[in-house]
Amino acid sequence: MIAKLRTKGQLYQLFGQVASALANPHRLELIDLLVQAPRTVEDLAREAHMSVANTSQHLQRLKQARLVVDEREGQFIRYHLADPAVRRLWLELREVADHRLPEVDLALNAYRPRRYVFQIISINELQEKMNRDEVFLLDVRPAIEFQAGHLPKAVSIPLGELEQRLNELPADKLIVAYCRGPFCEIADQALELLSERGWEVARLEEGVAEWNMAGNMILEGSHG
């Protein structure tokens, strides 16, 4: 009996290793970025506004827990999620926190002050409008994320390029923008710019990960 209890304890200790690796806001942000696309340490450090040394330390902790893996590409090391289950774990963790902690909604309102300014379109509504060719679907994430996976028929115009590429947008369709999901403000910034320039706009709250988890196909490469 004592041996079984010891073995059971070892199991929970191993489960705890995964929980411990995730119990850091910087490491969660790195997981969130890797959900969108594989990245080098330097890319992750730049996106997360951390030093390369600090980013590398956090990635090593995630690697020890078998949550991420790395591959050497010349002088660079590129990281990606070790398994699709890690993506599911992150989305579920986020959903539990959103449902159980009212502070999440307050923090999100502060982070996304334009959260309720623009029309929200659901996945089903988007699909119906896409079938009727009524919308122009705009992916405003960095190009590396679009190439790693994007919604069908989406066009990539990263936020930093949007103002210079307005001539690529149709004037007679609803512009629907999406980014990394409901906890991302990139799409809000894009919609604010487009709304000021006269376009009818809406936001898809879900990102690529949520779209795919709902059973929908995603595409890879540089074309929608």
* Span 143-171, pLDDT tens digits: 999 999 999 999 999 999 999 999 999 99
Catalytic residues: 179
Q: Which two tokens stand for residue 6?
A: 């010891």
Whether the model pTM is above 0.85: yes
* Span 33-83, pLDDT tens digits: 999 999 999 999 999 999 999 999 999 999 999 999 999 988 889 999 999
Average pLDDT, the chain: 95
Per the structure, the complete domain to which residue 23 belongs is given by 2-87
What is the C-alpha separation between 59 and 54, in angstroms, rounded?
9
Closest by CA to 27, choosing from 90, 91, 78, 118, is 90
* Domain co-membership, 121 together with 78: no
**56 within domain boundaries:** yes
**pLDDT-based confidence at residue 8 (cuts at 50, 70, 90):** confident
Rounded to 5°, the CA angle 158-178-49 comes to 55
* Domain co-membership, 82 together with 117: no
**pLDDT-based confidence at residue 1 (cuts at 50, 70, 90):** low
* Domain co-membership, 69 together with 122: no
* Domain co-membership, 82 together with 124: no
The last residue of a domain, from among 70, 87, 104: 87
* Domain co-membership, 152 together with 200: yes
Q: Which two tokens stand for residue 197?
A: 């320039």
What is the C-alpha separation between 149 and 89, in angstroms, rounded?
19
Query: How many domains in the chain?
Result: 2
Which residues, other chains included, contact 192 with Cβ-Cβ below 8 Å and sequence gap of 6+?
114, 117
- The CATH number covering residue 145 comes to 3.40.250.10
**68 within domain boundaries:** yes
What is the C-alpha separation between 159 and 39, in angstroms, rounded?
19
